[in-house]
Structure formats: structure tokens, C-alpha cells
Amino acid sequence: MSAPGLPPDVEAAFAAFPASARAGGLALRDLVFEVAARTPEAGPISEDLRWGEPAYLTAQTRSGTTIRIGAPKTGGYGLFVNCRTSLIEEFREMAPHLRFDGRRGVLFADRDRPDRVALAMLIRAALTYHLRKA
């Protein structure tokens, strides 16, 4: 399943990314929708802005925590989750080769090609976070 068209506000947020980070951010967006399509318990995901960044939520089922895609001031791009979850701590053990931003995200340099297999595990865990914690 391919990602749906960009809502205008989300399109504007991606357009505000530095040109060097935009393709990576959009690739992460595609991966979020691909994983969501293979995760029926998450239900449909909605795409919105949270803190000015593209955000992906399981609004209908409330099965997951919000996933955000951002372009940090330090450069590159990243995939972020709520820092109050245990997701990044758990994921750090599964994929120690990646670069992390504390308890909130995974960071990539502009030139990085993200590990899609590892990131798919993180995305699926985020989309079903509340189901696992129940």
C-alpha cells in the first residue's frame, strides 16, 4: 500500500525541512504507512501536525502512541515517539547500531539510508504500544 497524498499542512511541514533531509523524511513517512497497512490491529492511521511536525496517530483504535517525523536543528532527520514510553529504550537494545536522541527518537544524517527492517519493528511497536501495555 502506498502512502496517501499529503494533507496541505503536512506538505508544508515537509517543504520546510532542509532540502537535504526532505527525501529521508518522506521515506520515513512511506514506511509508517507501509507498516500500518501490515498492522491491522492499529486500524487506520491519521496524519496531522504535532508540535509543527508531521505526526501519525491511531486515532480510531487508540492502540498506539504518536509517531513524529522531524528535522532536528542539528541537521538530518529523525523518527520520534513520546519520550514517556519505553519504546526507544527497548529499541536501542534491538538496534544498537542506530543513532538515538535520548528516549525520544532515532536520528539520521541526510545521506543515511535507514535500516527499514529495524525501523519497521519500532513503528509497529509504536502503533500497538497501548495494546502491549494493557
pLDDT at res. 77? 96
pLDDT tens for each residue of the chain, 134 residues long: 567 799 999 999 999 999 999 999 999 999 999 999 999 999 999 999 999 999 999 999 999 999 999 999 889 999 999 999 999 999 999 899 899 999 999 999 988 888 899 999 999 999 999 997 65
- pLDDT given at position 112: 83
Q: Which CATH class is domain 8-133?
A: alpha beta
116-127 and 87-94 helices, crossing angle to 10°: 150
CB 66 within 8 A of CB 85: no
CA dihedral 92, 124, 50, 33 (to 10 degrees): 130
Q: Do β-strands 46-50 and 67-70 pair in parallel, antiparallel, or remain unpaired?
A: unpaired
Looking at residue 4, its pLDDT comes to 79
Residues 71 and 18: beta-carbon distance below 8 Å? yes
